């Protein structure tokens, strides 16, 4: 069970949109609609942004959205803000009651 593949870093200017990809296999991302995304500011607890591929929990701004195509899930952030600078992790159900995370992506707001 290898970690899901995410780009190590992405960047964007305030107001722009950025998308982070999360690539797995047919045994995890591609096999289930159970992908979640987390925002992690260093030193703090991770925060759930997206569940079940594209569901936004209460309180999460609409500018965060999730999608999936085949074995790749994506998190799109529109209208970037300075406070969005953080690490982002995808997470997928991997069958047999196991869970797998992505390697994480550092978002830099220029």
- Which residues here bind another protein, judged by CB under 8 A? 1, 3, 32, 34-36, 38, 40, 44-46, 48, 51-52, 57, 89, 91-93, 97-104
Q: Which is nearer to another protein, 10 or 48 (CB)?
A: 48
Minimum Å distance from CB 97 to another protein? 4
**Shortest gap between Cβ of 13 and another protein (angstroms)?**
26
- Bridging pattern class, strands 105-109 and 47-50: unpaired
Round to whole Å and give the CA distance between 82 and 93. 31
- Which residue do the tokens 């949109």 mark? 17
């Amino acid at each position: 069970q290898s970690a899901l593949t995410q780009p190590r870093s992405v960047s964007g200017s305030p107001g722009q949109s950025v998308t982070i990809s999360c690539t797995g296999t047919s045994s995890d991302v591609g096999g289930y609609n159970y992908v979640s995304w987390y925002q992690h500011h260093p030193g703090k607890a991770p925060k759930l942004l997206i569940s079940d591929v594209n569901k936004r929990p209460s309180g999460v701004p609409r500018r965060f959205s999730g999608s999936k195509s085949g074995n790749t899930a994506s998190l799109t952030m529109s209208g970037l803000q300075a406070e969005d600078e953080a690490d982002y992790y995808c997470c997928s159900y991997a069958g047999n009651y196991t869970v797998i995370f992505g390697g994480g992506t550092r978002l830099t707001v220029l």
